[in-house]
């Protein structure tokens, strides 16, 4: 077997990906423009001057993604109080994302990275490009990464981000 195929199979079995490494805190997050669950375009330019969380999830309606989305929904007031906008991102179509939002009453928008372009730039491209990796980025008003979350636990992620935001607020 060619070495490239062996390497990709090894990454797949290990749960890894051949995409770019995750961005580190302080790095500029790449410019992006994605379609949301309402069919509207949302871009990094629209969010300039705002702090936001981009949480990549593998697949709408799957158990882990539903758990993570519902936990973010249930803690949404904390994000609102911290002036942090929340966006979910997956490879799902805007229509699938709209169904996910409607079924679970998410107060945030879900974005479609259907061509995987942003995922590839930020280390979210999943195994064999089939689904996105479950990672998140907290991005500051200047467009730079505040915090990168590589090992996201769906049931605890919202509280983890809120704890980080509280710690940052105390440090100011």
Residues forming the active site? 65
Token pair for residue 55? 């949480």
**Bridging pattern class, strands 109-112 and 136-139:** unpaired
Give the position of tokens 């490879």.
Answer: 91
HEC letters along 83-130: CEEEEEEECCCHHHHHHHHHHHCCCCEEEECCCCHHHHHHCCECHHHC
Euclidean distance between CA atoms 98 and 60, whole angstroms? 10
Give the position of tokens 């259907």.
Answer: 114
Q: How many helices (H) and strands (E) does the chain have?
A: 6, 7
């Amino acid at each position: 077997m060619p070495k490239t195929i062996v390497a990709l199979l090894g990454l797949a079995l290990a749960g890894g990906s051949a995409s770019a490494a995750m961005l580190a805190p302080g790095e500029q997050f790449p410019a992006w423009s994605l379609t949301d669950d309402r069919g509207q375009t949302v871009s990094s330019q629209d969010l300039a001057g705002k702090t936001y969380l981009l949480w990549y999830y593998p697949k709408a309606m799957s158990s882990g993604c539903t758990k993570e989305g519902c936990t973010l929904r249930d803690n949404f007031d904390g994000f609102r109080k911290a002036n942090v906008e929340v966006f979910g991102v997956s490879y799902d179509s805007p229509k699938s994302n709209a169904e996910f939002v409607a079924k679970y009453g998410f107060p945030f928008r879900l974005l479609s990275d259907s061509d995987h372009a942003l995922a590839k730039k930020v280390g979210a491209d999943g195994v064999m490009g089939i689904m996105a990796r479950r990672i998140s980025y907290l991005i500051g008003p200047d467009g730079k990464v505040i915090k990168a979350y590589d090992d996201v636990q769906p049931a605890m992620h919202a509280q983890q981000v809120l704890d980080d935001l509280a710690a940052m607020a105390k440090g100011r």
